[in-house]
Amino acid sequence: MKRSPCLAPPFKIQERNLPKLELLRMSREQQAVACARKAFETGRSKSLEHRIRQLKNLKRLFAERQQEISDASKKDLNKSEAGTQLFETVGLEGEINLVIRKLKEWAAPRKVEKNLLIISDTVYIKPEPLGVVLIIGAWNYPWAVTIQPLVGAIAAGNAVVIKPSEVCVHTAKVMEELLPLYIDKELYPVVSGGVPETQELLRQRFDHIFYTGNSVVGKLIMEAAAKHLTPVTLELGGKSPCYIDKDCDISIACRRVTWGKYTNCGQTCIAPDYILCEPSIQDRVIEEVKKSIKDFYTENPKTCPDYGRIINQRHFKRIMAMVDDSTVAAGGDNDESDCYIAPTVLRDVKPEAKVMQEEIFGPLLPILPVSGLDEAIKFINKREKPLALYVFTANDKVIQKMVDETSSGGLLANDCIVHFSVSSLPFGGVGNSGMGCYHGKFSFDQMSHLRGCLIKQLKMEGMNSMRYPPHTMEKLGWVRFFLLRNLDLSSMGKMALLAALAVMAAVLFKMYLL
């Protein structure tokens, strides 16, 4: 465990005034967290100017260091330069721009409805920083899933400990080098490392933990967080079903599914995991998918610069093991030395097949024939709630039925993945696919404490006598009267305005037309 030279005593009373010797015995992770907490307690992360400055610096990072970022992505996942931009940095830029523009509005006190009892008082919800947030990133879109929560955390005024995924080795190194050059390195330290370092981090106390990854580790994170009563946001995964109705433009549907599936070599948490369709269109679907694969990645995807690779040997073996008991309709070739798996389609897959037992996270697209929409819905509902649900149809009623009778993190009709880029939609899972949500204002709210504030005055004490003992029936009657449900002041205001206008109109009418 490395020693970090970042800290200098004295600490705040919460650190129990550690003697110098103990400081040296602290692990690197403990030191980073203590450093971030000390920096947070100075209060400098709270001013809006500071937050906006840090966000602008982040934006500069992506503008100035695009080349290093792309090179690292290519080494890790064989992402093309344009691909990296498309899927990671452009979305981030949009998010940062949105936050900078809206921060003042989001951070301001928020008005709420009043009731009769407190009609003359000031009431509002005040968003406040939580403190020190831990962000654990993932390896498939390392920049998007690590920096996007970071943007929200900074915007909310927190200090953040950033733990990039060690699996994307080159990108983690670039993050560790570049982030301290652009943003405050005491408030936002980057801690790299593998499983033991993450476990050490999780033993420390945070005010929020944001984790992107799989459900198995998600459970461990929540258990660790429980020991400190730390709230968590877990962006997990699952098998995102994709239902293709026979009543739709199959060629376009398959194009979109192909794009969503094989981008980043299938290693996307919201990739369409498997297809459900009627047997009558299965052949057509396979044809169209094959056609789109050829259009996107040429006859030989291995040589195409836009086609990615599996992240490492372990995942390669895991994915290849799934192909065994299913029929390959397209693709299937692979090269272990290059971690290359061709875009593969599997047909007539059975629910018990190996490929249907866990999230694929690879370029295998199983097709399961179902008798119709009802059977598809039953199939989906028998399984864990997925992170995304896709339905392709020209019939609105089919879409409505899917919305009403299933549940998932998000639902996208007639396309794949793009709901991720709409900042006004909350992005997150439900059940096994996660808890909490983020993007845009949701990130800000997720990493803030929304504090209810009621400002009264020491006058009008007479009003309070109805709540004080000794109690009587009469006093109780008054309480019942005043604790009516909240007044809709806006509609009362509108009615008052309407009445005033009506009076004015009547007066004018009387004066000038009679």
Partner 1 sequence: MDRQTVQRTREAFLSGRTRPLEFRLQQLHALKRMINEKETEISTALKQDINRSQYDTPLLELIGIENEIKLAIDKLAVWAAPRPVERNLLTISDEVYIQPEPLGVVLIIGAWNYPWALTLVPLIGAIAAGNAAVVKPSELSEYSSLLLRALLPRYLDKDLYPVVTGGVSETQELLRLRFDHVFYTGSSTVGKLVMEAAARHLTPVTLELGGKSPCYIDKNCDIRTACRRITWGKFVNCGQTCIAPDFILCEPCIQGQVVECIRQTLLEFYGADPKCSPDYGRIVNQRHFNRVIGLMEGYTPVVGGQSDASQCYIAPTVLKDVPPQSRMMQEEIFGPLLPIVTVSDMDDAIHFINEREKPLALYIFCSDKKASKKMIGETTSGGVTVNDVMMHYTLSSLPFGGVGQSGMGRYHGKHTFDQLSHQRACLIRSLGMESVNLARYPPQDRRRARRVRMALRSPLIDMSKRTFIWAVTATIIGFGLFISLLVILLIASGLNCTCWYWRGFYNYFY
Does residue 512 interact with partner 1 by CB under 8 A? no
Residue type at position 332? G
Q: Which of 80, 214, 312, 327 binds partner 1 (CB under 8 A)?
A: 80
Is residue 377 within 8 A of residue 401, CB to CB? The reply is: yes
Does residue 399 interact with partner 1 by CB under 8 A? yes
Give least dist CB 393 to partner 1, A. Answer: 9
CA neighbours closer than 13 Å in the CB half-sphere of residue 402: 26
Closer CB to partner 1, 4 or 214, in the complex: 214
Does residue 91 interact with partner 1 by CB under 8 A? yes
Stretches 78-86, 161-169, 345-353, 360-368: which one binds partner 1 (CB under 8 A)? 78-86
Q: Which of residues 332-391 bind partner 1 (CB under 8 A)?
A: 381
Give least dist CB 417 to partner 1, A. Answer: 9
Q: Show Cβ contacts of residue 49 under 8 Å, excluding neighbours closer than 6 positions.
A: none
DSSP 12: P
Closer CB to partner 1, 217 or 328, in the complex: 217
Q: How far apart are CA 307 and CA 52, in angstroms?
A: 37
Give least dist CB 67 to partner 1, A. Answer: 13
Degrees to nearest 5, angle at CA 239 with 198 and 368 = 155
Does residue 494 interact with partner 1 by CB under 8 A? no
Q: Show Cβ contacts of residue 418 under 8 Å, excluding neighbours closer than 6 positions.
A: 412
Q: Taking the alpha carbons of 370, 371, 373, 379 in that order, is the dihedral positive or negative?
A: negative
Q: Which of residues 460-479 bind partner 1 (CB under 8 A)?
A: 461, 464, 467-473, 475-476, 479
Helices (H), ranges, 78-187: 81-84, 90-107, 142-155, 169-182
Q: Which of 67, 303, 337, 424 binds partner 1 (CB under 8 A)?
A: 424
Does residue 403 interact with partner 1 by CB under 8 A? yes
Q: Which of 18, 217, 320, 411 binds partner 1 (CB under 8 A)?
A: 411
Does residue 495 interact with partner 1 by CB under 8 A? no
Cite the active site residues: 235, 269
Q: Show Cβ contacts of residue 447 under 8 Å, excluding neighbours closer than 6 positions.
A: 129, 130, 133, 149, 152, 153, 155, 156, 158, 208, 210
Listed residue (6, 436, 477, 461) closest to 230, CA to CA:
436
- What are the C-alpha distances in Å from 277 to residues 85, 356, 412? 33, 15, 17
Stretches 68-76, 298-306, 335-343, 499-507: which one binds partner 1 (CB under 8 A)? 298-306
Q: Which of residues 211-240 bind partner 1 (CB under 8 A)?
A: 215, 218-219, 222-223, 225-227, 229, 231, 234, 236
Q: Which of 64, 113, 283, 325 binds partner 1 (CB under 8 A)?
A: 113
Bridging pattern class, strands 388-392 and 241-244:
parallel
Q: Which of residues 117-136 bind partner 1 (CB under 8 A)?
A: 117-118, 123, 125-126, 128, 130-131
Closer CB to partner 1, 5 or 470, in the complex: 470
Is residue 260 within 8 A of residue 266, CB to CB? The reply is: no
Listed residue (255, 247, 256) closest to 277, CA to CA:
247
Closer CB to partner 1, 354 or 451, in the complex: 451
Stretches 22-30, 107-115, 276-284, 324-332: which one binds partner 1 (CB under 8 A)? 107-115
Stretches 278-286, 309-317, 354-362, 434-442: which one binds partner 1 (CB under 8 A)? 434-442
